[in-house]
């Protein structure tokens, strides 16, 4: 069967070069990278600026420069949850090896979930409390939440946080009940010192706070909210495999795909790290000087490998992972898996990344979180767009749900979000001229998306706080439009067959 393969036209490459070069020459943005791939190959990649925006003598940024990717870690954590080694000797349950019993379910499966289900290590409906007992005593908070001490009640007898709820953020785990001060501040679960002797216990103590059990915002599976789900997934992998999360990732994802990535900012990674910057309210970019508390970066003090925020890697390597997902999902005739000797996930689990799983209430909450009314969804690993973006990604594209920021007319800075979320209806502040553009990704300025309809994936990266910076968002929007305006689709040929090319 012949399959279309997207490529970028020469005009498109020229346009992307023009946009990138002009943005860099303006000097109003810190260093950045931008890349595009199809399932078959990298189509475009550019790197602009120096590693240190405030030091002209620092080395130039390259496609292999290292970024703190923050929430883009979540896709990695989801991958890890189910791609476990074939040897069942590492699977543990209450200190005993698990049996090889196969549990069958009809639910959607996350990356490589079928492998775990076949071995009996996990299923989508496995209660987390079987491996992290504290979840047996979780409590559900009662509305209203924005009071000093919200009322709470035990989980219903037939209710439990399950693996599937962590994957699509329907567990009820949440980051904060109120807008932080400043609004871009990281939560204590990420900024607190790690407990060297008991990383999981220390983390659970922090997110539990003064409640009698791990607090949930609603009964598991009934709704959607952004929270600690991916971090718990990482701890779950550790509990099952007996391996530290970083070690597991190195052996099962990073090394097979030849990715340079780690939860520890080692000296070699630090030497290639793009330096974090901060945009003052007056627009001036200044060096990072602990304007707000952030994740522990000292590798000697990192004992909790947090699946929601803790990874360092290059955006080119992240693009390699996205290309691998597209390769496995599309399974094009004659298209080899170029980034690994064998696929790290199955075709079925790659497809499940683009299949909706939320209840109607969950979809409405995801819409509200992103200030849109487009029927957003969440799969077992990705947020999914509910409609085509004008001149951009297609309906059903997957991306990281945070921070979905806006390209508005007039622009809305992330610092203005307290006003938005304090209103009874966050859509009230918008007018007919508002334009929304999905650029969600990492807290420090990275982003990505996969468009399975078009067959491409895109990454963008800078290191600028606060997130949702309008000038960065505008550049991402312009680059995305330029890509889609200049995609050509050729067809693989068979023998002497003609190869038609169509403009998107």
Contact 479, 342 (CB under 8 A): no
Which of 209-213, 446-450, 493-497 shows the lowest per-residue confidence on average (mean pLDDT)? Answer: 493-497
- In the prediction, which pLDDT does 285 show? 95
Order of all β-strands in the sheet with 487-491: 4-8, 487-491, 501-503
* Count of positions (residues) in the chain: 504
Q: Is the pLDDT of residue 277 over 80?
A: yes
- 3 pLDDT band, cuts 50/70/90, is low
Q: In this structure, what are the phi and psi dihedrals at residue 364, rounded to the nearest 5 degrees? A: -65, -40
pLDDT digits 0-9 by tens, 287-296? 999 999 999 9
Segment 278-284 shows an average pLDDT of 93
- In the prediction, which pLDDT does 12 show? 97
- Of 212, 211, 190, the closest CA to residue 202 belongs to 190
N-to-C CA span, the chain: 21
pLDDT digits 0-9 by tens, 304-335? 999 889 999 999 999 999 999 899 888 754 45
Cis peptide leading into 466, omega within 30 of 0? Answer: yes
State the CB neighbour count (10 A cutoff) for residue 317.
21
What's the Cα-to-Cα distance from 486 to each of 43, 341, 448, rounded to whole Å? 12, 32, 19
- In the prediction, which pLDDT does 439 show? 56
Which of 139-143, 361-365, 436-440 shows the lowest per-residue confidence on average (mean pLDDT)? Answer: 436-440
- Of 143, 139, 165, the closest CA to residue 153 belongs to 139
Segment 12-30 shows an average pLDDT of 96
Q: Where do we find the tokens 């130039």? A: 60
Of 54 and 423, which is predicted with more confidence?
54
Q: Is the pLDDT of residue 236 over 90?
A: no
- Of 277, 275, 273, 278, the closest CA to residue 313 belongs to 273
Cis peptide leading into 373, omega within 30 of 0? Answer: no
CA angle 414, 478, 500 (to 5 degrees): 140
- 169 pLDDT band, cuts 50/70/90, is very high
Contact 443, 186 (CB under 8 A): yes
Segment 376-402 shows an average pLDDT of 90
- In the prediction, which pLDDT does 435 show? 43
Separation between Cα atoms, residue 298 and residue 16, nearest integer Å = 36
Contact 235, 241 (CB under 8 A): no
Separation between Cα atoms, residue 232 and residue 227, nearest integer Å = 10
Contact 25, 43 (CB under 8 A): no
Contact 381, 446 (CB under 8 A): no
Separation between Cα atoms, residue 210 and residue 205, nearest integer Å = 9
Of 260 and 251, which is predicted with more confidence?
260
DSSP lists the bridge partners of residue 384 as 377, 398
pLDDT above 70: percentage of residues in the chain: 78
- In the prediction, which pLDDT does 233 show? 87
Domain ranges for the chain, please list them.
75-254
Name the average pLDDT for the chain.
81
Q: Is the pLDDT of residue 270 over 50?
A: yes
Which CATH number is 75-254 given? 3.40.710.10
Separation between Cα atoms, residue 234 and residue 302, nearest integer Å = 14
What's the Cα-to-Cα distance from 498 to each of 2, 39, 501, rounded to whole Å? 11, 22, 10
Which of 169-183, 252-266, 282-296, 484-498 shows the lowest per-residue confidence on average (mean pLDDT)? Answer: 484-498
């Amino acid at each position: 069967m012949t399959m279309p393969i997207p490529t970028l036209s020469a005009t498109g490459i020229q346009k992307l070069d023009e946009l990138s070069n002009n943005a860099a020459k303006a000097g109003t943005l810190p260093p950045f990278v931008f890349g595009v791939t199809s399932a078959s190959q990298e189509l475009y990649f550019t790197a602009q600026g120096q590693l240190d925006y405030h030091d002209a003598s620092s080395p130039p940024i390259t496609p292999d420069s290292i970024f703190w990717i923050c929430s883009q870690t979540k896709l990695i954590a989801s991958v890890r949850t189910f791609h476990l080694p074939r040897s069942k000797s590492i699977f543990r349950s209450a200190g005993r090896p698990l049996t090889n019993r196969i549990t069958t379910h009809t639910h959607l499966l996350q990356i490589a979930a079928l492998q775990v289900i076949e071995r009996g290590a996990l299923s989508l409906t496995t209660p987390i409390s079987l491996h992290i007992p504290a979840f047996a005593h979780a409590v559900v908070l009662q509305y209203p939440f924005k009071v000093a001490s919200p009322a709470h009640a035990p989980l219903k007898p037939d209710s439990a946080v399950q693996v599937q709820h962590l994957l699509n953020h329907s567990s009820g785990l949440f980051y904060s009940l109120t807008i932080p001060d400043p609004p871009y501040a990281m939560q204590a679960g990420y900024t607190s010192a790690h407990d060297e002797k008991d990383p999981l216990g220390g983390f659970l103590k922090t997110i539990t706070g003064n409640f009698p059990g791990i607090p949930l915002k609603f009964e598991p599976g009934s709704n959607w909210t952004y929270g600690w789900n991916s971090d718990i997934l990482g701890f779950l992998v550790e509990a099952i495999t007996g391996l530290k999360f970083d070690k597991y990732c190195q052996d099962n994802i990073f090394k097979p795909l030849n990715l340079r990535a780690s939860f520890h900012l080692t000296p070699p990674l630090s030497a290639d790290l793009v330096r974090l910057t901060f945009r003052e309210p007056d627009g001036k970019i200044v060096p990072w000087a602990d304007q707000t508390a952030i994740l522990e970066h000292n590798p000697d003090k990192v004992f909790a490998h947090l699946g929601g925020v803790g990874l360092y890697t290059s955006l080119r390597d992240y693009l390699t992972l996205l290309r691998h997902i597209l390769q496995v999902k599309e399974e094009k005739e004659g298209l080899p898996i170029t980034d690994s000797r064998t696929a790290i996930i199955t075709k079925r689990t790659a497809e499940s990344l683009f299949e909706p799983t939320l209840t109607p209430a969950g979809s409405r909450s995801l819409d509200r979180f992103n200030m849109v009314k487009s029927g957003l969804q969440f799969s077992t690993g990705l947020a999914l767009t509910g409609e085509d973006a004008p001149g951009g990604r297609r309906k059903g594209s997957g991306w990281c749900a945070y921070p979905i920021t806006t390209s508005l007319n007039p622009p809305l800075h992330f610092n203005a979000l307290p006003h938005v979320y304090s209103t009874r209806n966050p859509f009230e502040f918008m007018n007919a001229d508002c334009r929304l553009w999905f650029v969600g990704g990492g807290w420090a300025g990275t982003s990505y998306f996969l468009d399975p309809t078009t067959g491409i994936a895109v990454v963008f990266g800078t290191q600028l706080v606060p997130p949702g910076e309008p000038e960065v968002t505008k550049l991402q929007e312009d680059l995305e439009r330029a890509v889609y305006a200049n995609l050509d689709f050729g067809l693989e040929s068979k023998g002497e067959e003609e190869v038609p090319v169509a403009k998107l």
